[in-house]
Structure 1
Amino acid sequence: MLNNKSVLITGGTGSFGKKFVETILRDYPNVKKIVIYSRDELKQFELKQKYPEKDYHQLRFFIGDVRDGERLKRACEGIDVIIHAAAIKQVDTAEYNPDECVKTNIHGAQNVINAALATNVKHVVALSTDKACAPINLYGATKLCSDKLFVAANNIKGSRDLRFSVVRYGNVMGSRGSVIPFFIDKRSSGVIPITHEEMTRFNISLQAGVDLVMFAIGHHLGGEIFIPKIPSYKIIDVAKAIAPNAKIEVVGIRPGEKLHEEMITATDAMNTIDLGQYYAILPSVSFNHTRQEYIDHHQAVPVAKDFHYSSDKNTDWETVESMREKIIKYVDPDFTVE
């Protein structure tokens, strides 16, 4: 699928970007070019050291910000596939710096769309978040707006052979700033702070997130928001898996935080189809494909009218034991319970 193709990843030095590069080089050794587009020269330098033989052959590094439309357009020359992973994603950071969050997450998204329309890009897949579903914080609101921009971009592509779609998923195990590394760091103190004893979240590994993006590249018609079927966990069970002997301290839900997350609301259900391994929310307005064409293409079935996909109503749950196993598998192979 990606052999002999050129791929650009915005935010390419982040947790997802690094796993995506690793996956492409492993599964598509004849990829023509991978362009890492990001702002941090130190992180680019560190990624270069991991693949010294690939530098300037298959791996290219562009210092650039998605806010800079002209720089982004230059980076997209000769690119076949764009993966848009750049974002300001910390909830509290976004609340304190709202204008900066809007510039990156909304204006940056539009710049990606404009760059794709101005070049010969064929596929664009944007990463989203469960916080974009019925958002209550600015980060989620900007990502919802970004999702809408990418979905609607299919209606302004004209005669171009170009498809835009979105992938939406929950908490990624071990990603920077996430709960698992935070709890691992805190366990030495003997106290694990949790926000609420009943709080739940969706759980996905980095590799599963990459696999979802690969699926989107290979199967999208354009306009879909792809959502994986993944388990939920209780925050308190994550704490018990990491530090079973530590004291649990309930510190309260932070501003802009939900008790439970959603990925498909009951209102979305009328436009949602079940693909088997994944769900897809179809565009409410599409000038390119009918609802039935999406269903036929994906060999899918519509979900029930009252369908609702949230972390507290999930049918698939992690246990303390399964979380511990996955921490060892996906986050830290040397992890042991103290």
Structure 2
Amino acid sequence: MAAAILDHVTAEALVQRFAPTSLDLDGKVILVTGGTGSFGRRFVDRVLGQTRPRKLIVYSRDELKQHEMQIELQEKFDAAKLACMRFFLGDVRDRERLTLALRGVDVVIHAAALKQVPAAEYNPSECIHTNVLGAENVVWACLTNRVKQVVALSTDKACNPINLYGATKLASDKTFVAANNLSGDIGARFSVVRYGNVVGSRGSVAPLFQRLIAKGADELPITDPRMTRFWITLNQGVDFVLSSLSMMRGGEIFVPKIPSMKMTDLAAAMAPQAKIKIIGIRPGEKLHEMMISQDDARTTVDLGDRYAIEPAFVEYARTPHAATHPLVAETFAYSSDSNDEWLNGEGLLAMLNESHD
């Protein structure tokens, strides 16, 4: 496999890969669903630090997390910066509440989801209600309130899904892409961003390894020694969403070009002396993750630092990215095991350090 190994220096350069050149959010009303999660908190920090929105609304269902987030923001920003902040209690399952919350909103970032693969396998109806019906509710509420721009967060597991979580996110992706054909004279535009495992995010394997290492564990659990994953930092994820927001035309699924790493190399980088304990693949887990399948290659455009899967049905005014950028080869597929960028230990540790900034 011809692969570019990313060392510490190039990993740091990668951090800036998706940084938006400009943010046109001043004076706008922005709402982020699931705003108290890992992504939502970092997104709010970035928007408060770099722009001047008229309102920045956190929409989520956990009152304690909202309270804790307010305290954290008060420690980081002065009262003038926080004057735009609003915290709305609500669930994306509740269409009426969501419709009220979106009155006067210009931009929606949809980050709310149930994401744990084993939990989704065991509780399928709960995952469907939040990830599929919740997505439909967001689309409905956005159209009702004439929201102009909507970006929905997806996952690599939505491509060729084998688990329920991935299947629900694929259904969500299709819902947001198709919503553009419903907007008519409203002019609302809906796009999707799809990326891999977030280094250091809640529920990812890196924090689990860190906790085990801190407790003095002499072995780390790996489900299968062949397993590979795509990796992106939380800051990169936020930058990718913000930059995609600035270039979206509606209906595309944006996919970042990010490095892969073997799970055994991840464990070795974090704890060189620890042994590996093979515990077997969990229900619904893949050996390798894919973000673009060969079936999607026919409509996939190479935008330089990312790919865009163009919509199959377009019944609205839209200039395709393919008008100015090349399509990928028909045999192309973007999978973590055949990626041409790979992290080594130094690169992974650099990304871990960056994730705590």
Give the shorter-chain TM-score range. over 0.9
1:248 paired to 2:276: yes
- Moved runs in structure 1, 4+ residues, more than 4 A? none
For normalisation by structure 2, the TM-score amounts to: 0.90
Q: Distance in 2 between matches of 1:325 and 1:154?
A: 39
Q: Distance in 2 between matches of 1:329 and 1:99?
A: 36
1:37 paired to 2:59: yes
The one of 131, 139, 146 aligned to 2:172:
146
Q: Size of the alignment, in residue pairs?
A: 328
Q: Which amino acid aligns with 1:49?
A: I
The one of 201, 218, 240 aligned to 2:246:
218
Q: Which amino acid aligns with 2:212?
A: K
Q: CA deviation at 1:289?
A: 4.8
The one of 84, 92, 112 aligned to 2:110:
84
Gaps of 5+ in 1: 334-338
Could you tell me whether the CA contact under 8 Å between 1:48 and 1:55 is conserved in 2? no
1:47 paired to 2:69: yes
1:309 paired to 2:334: yes
1:278 is matched with 306
1:330 paired to 2:352: no
Percent identity between the aligned chains?
Answer: 54
Q: Which amino acid aligns with 2:322?
A: I
Q: CA deviation at 1:56?
A: 7.0
Could you tell me whether the CA contact under 8 Å between 2:222 and 2:263 is conserved in 1? yes
Q: Distance in 1 between matches of 2:234 and 2:132?
A: 24
Q: Distance in 2 between matches of 1:117 and 1:302?
A: 31
Q: Deviations over 1:122-178 (max 9, x none)?
A: 000000000000000000000000000000000011111210000000000111010
Q: Deviations over 1:209-231 (max 9, x none)?
A: 11111122111110000000000
Corresponding residue SS for 1:285: coil
Q: Which amino acid aligns with 1:48?
A: Q
2:218 is matched with 190
Could you tell me whether the CA contact under 8 Å between 2:310 and 2:320 is conserved in 1? no
2:142 is matched with 116
RMSD, aligned CA:
1.3
Q: Distance in 2 between matches of 1:78 and 1:54?
A: 22
Q: Deviations over 1:8-54 (max 9, x none)?
A: 000000000001001101110x2111100001111100111122326
Corresponding residue SS for 2:280: coil
Gaps of 5+ in 2: 1-23
Higher relative contact order (CA 8 A, sep 6+): 2
Q: Distance in 1 between matches of 2:104 and 2:130?
A: 24
2:297 is matched with 269
Q: Which amino acid aligns with 1:43?
A: K
Q: CA deviation at 1:311?
A: 0.1
Could you tell me whether the CA contact under 8 Å between 2:181 and 2:315 is conserved in 1? yes
2:163 is matched with 137
1:336 is matched with none
Corresponding residue SS for 1:74: helix
Corresponding residue SS for 2:130: helix
Structure 1 residues 65-74 or 321-330, which shifts more? 321-330
Corresponding residue SS for 1:203: strand
1:5 is matched with 28
Q: CA deviation at 1:55?
A: 8.6
Q: Distance in 2 between matches of 1:13 and 1:166?
A: 20
For normalisation by structure 1, the TM-score amounts to: 0.95
Q: CA deviation at 1:328?
A: 2.1
Q: CA deviation at 1:75?
A: 0.5
